[in-house]
Amino acid sequence: EQLEGMRLTSAVDLFSWGAVMVFAATGREAFPGPTQAARIARVLSGQADTDGVPESLVPAVRACLTGDPESRPDARTLLDHLVTGTALSPQESAGAVPQSGPTLVEGVDDGATRRQDPARPHTPYAEAGSGPMPHTSSGAQAPPAAPSGEQAPAPSGSGDQAPPYYFAGRRLRTVQELAHAMQENWTDAVRVMSDAQERATLGAWIIDDLNDTLVDRSLFRRQVSDANAAVATLIAQARPDLPPVFRGHDCSIAGLSRLFEDPRPLLSGDPRSNELGLLARPEVLRTMSQHGGPDAGALRTLADDLVEAERVGARFHQQLAQGLSGWRGTQNHVDPAVILVFLLHSDLVRKPDPGARPGVGEWIEILWARVERSAGAARAGHAAAVYGALETVSVLAHQREQWLSQHRTVAEQQQTLAVQGDSDEGFRRGKVLLYWSTGICLFLTLVTSDVASVIFLSAAIASGIGAVVVASTHTQRFGSAHERKWRSHRAAQLPRVRTSLDSGLQNIERDLAEARRICSTG
């Protein structure tokens, strides 16, 4: 018993050494997974994610991280291997478990149920002729076979003794077959994952009938908010050997570069923008990176850059909304699909064309200064933010142009009304003078002698005629008394209107100045 305890302690220590070596070489866990259950399944499977570990250390690390403690080398063997390069060999078993025959069941031709043939060692998936070895979300192989002589369940995902599952008109026996069929029939797969009852039926087959340890069981035990992502996760975990495909689209770096080669459809509301928007998500790119192809690392990097670019673009919009009064309450969107275009094609990061819209060019010049000051993911994020703000820029520029036009109109009206007011006042005074002159002459006519009264009468008649002519001309040129009163009221209001327009234009100019400061110092 003491010997057995010492041997198990040594196995645990070597397992820890292997996990530390993976983390030191890659900065990642040796057994990553989206959930605790997935990580436990990977530990039990005994195959770590050693991508990035130096090739010279991979055999030793894999040997120490195998799921069966009996199969790990002892410390002396590991040390000899690391120092002299001698071959690794597992520990000798101190107490072998007596072998027993298979469980016999009447009516079964081979006499065994849900077990692996004890006469031959566990055969990896790739060697069994069914394709590459199954992996979990980050590439872990299926769990090893039970010790020789013990009754063992069927290998994870094999389904040799399990009932079949019918999908898209096909009779499937393994999770691997299902994953391949789902990738080829994505619409049917989404329909299954979207329907709670269908998903529960599939989960029962995978979990209960197959006793699968490859696929994250939370896919079937939680509410699925994104059926496409759930399908992609199942495929990547069950068949990481398949090429990265999402909704029928090639998601290798070359495939994504072809899909995201032009930002214009995304900006114009083209129907393709919705489809590309489903692809341009960090979680989708990370799921695609779980396929063990040459682009796995580049897809992970692309996902990280997309997250950073979205954060940078959103922060840029937040700065503008906080600093500029005209931006408050505006809805500006940083489109991840546009970011992906710029990340995959840095040469397409170009200043938007302002067209013939007055004032738009000035705003674009100001905002684009932030793009020119950035590099990498930040440059793509800032450029996408500028493209996402084009509608706001157009509204602000149009508003500024309207206010300038109104300001010019009000100024012209003020000048016209001022001239009209002076002329109107002249006519009014002339009429008053002539009316008084007529009245005075008529009065003098009554109080003077005959000769003088004739003279004053003539003067009264002339003044009266002049008053009538002036009054008629006044009405023709300046309208009725009501119209002249309205014009006078309008002339009194215009200074207040002009003051309001002046204030609005000053706010716009302050926004432009603050935008220049933000974009040049951020």
Q: What is the pLDDT of residues 159-189, one digit of tens each?
A: 456 889 999 999 999 999 999 999 999 999 9
Q: What is the CA radius of gyration of the chain?
A: 43
Q: What is the mean pLDDT of residues 320-335?
A: 85
**Does the pLDDT value for residue 6 go beyond 60?**
no
Coil, strand or helix: which one is 246?
strand
First to last CA, the chain: 67
Compute the distance between CA of residue 443 and CA of residue 464 in angstroms, rounded to an integer: 13
Predicted pLDDT of residue 9: 60
CA distances from 163 to 134, 159, 207, 522 (A): 20, 7, 12, 62
- How far is residue 405 CA from its own chain's centroid? 39
Crossing angle for the helix pair 336-344 and 272-279, to the nearest 10 degrees: 70
The angle formed by the CA atoms of residues 476, 480 and 486, to the nearest 5 degrees, is 125
Residues of the chain with pLDDT > 90, as a percent, come to 35
Compute the distance between CA of residue 112 and CA of residue 423 in angstroms, rounded to an integer: 117
Q: Could you give the dihedral angle defined by the CA atoms of residues 362, 367, 373 and 377, in that order, rounded to the nearest 10 degrees?
A: -140
Least confident of 15-24, 66-75, 148-157, 186-195: 148-157
**Does the pLDDT value for residue 121 go beyond 50?**
no
Judged by phi (left if over 0) then psi (alpha if -120 to 50, else beta), residue 484 lies in: alpha
Give the Cβ contact number of residue 25 at 10 Å.
Answer: 17
Nearest alpha carbon to residue 179 among 235, 227, 126, 137: 235
User: What single string gives the DSSP state of each residue in 146-170?
Assistant: PPTTS--PPPTTT-TTSPPEEETTE
**Does the pLDDT value for residue 291 go beyond 90?**
yes
Confidence category of residue 508, pLDDT binned at 50, 70, 90:
confident
DSSP state of 243: -
- For residue 469, what is the enclosing H or E element? helix 450-478
pLDDT tens-place string over residues 358-405: 788 899 999 999 999 999 999 999 999 999 998 888 888 888 888 888
Predicted pLDDT of residue 238: 94
Nearest alpha carbon to residue 379 among 301, 316, 295, 297: 316
Q: Which residues of 36-74 are buried (b: 16+ CB within 10 A; e: fewer)?
A: eebbebbbbbbbbbbbebeeebbebbbbbbbbbbeebbb
HSE at residue 89, side-chain half, CA atoms within 13 A, is: 7
- Name the E strands within 316-360: none
The angle formed by the CA atoms of residues 93, 70 and 42, to the nearest 5 degrees, is 165
Structure pTM?
0.59
Give the Cβ contact number of residue 9 at 10 Å.
Answer: 11
Long-range contact list for 41-45, CB < 8 A, 24+ apart?
41/136, 41/140, 41/143, 41/213, 41/214, 42/136, 42/138, 42/140, 43/67, 44/143, 44/213, 45/136, 45/140, 45/141, 45/142, 45/143, 45/144, 45/156, 45/213
Nearest alpha carbon to residue 334 among 308, 301, 302: 308
pLDDT tens-place string over residues 191-247: 999 999 999 999 999 999 999 888 999 999 888 899 999 999 999 999 999 999 999
Compute the distance between CA of residue 441 and CA of residue 448 in angstroms, rounded to an integer: 10
Cβ(71)–Cβ(122) below 8 Å: no
Compute the distance between CA of residue 374 and CA of residue 522 in angstroms, rounded to an integer: 9
pLDDT tens-place string over residues 433-449: 888 888 988 888 888 87
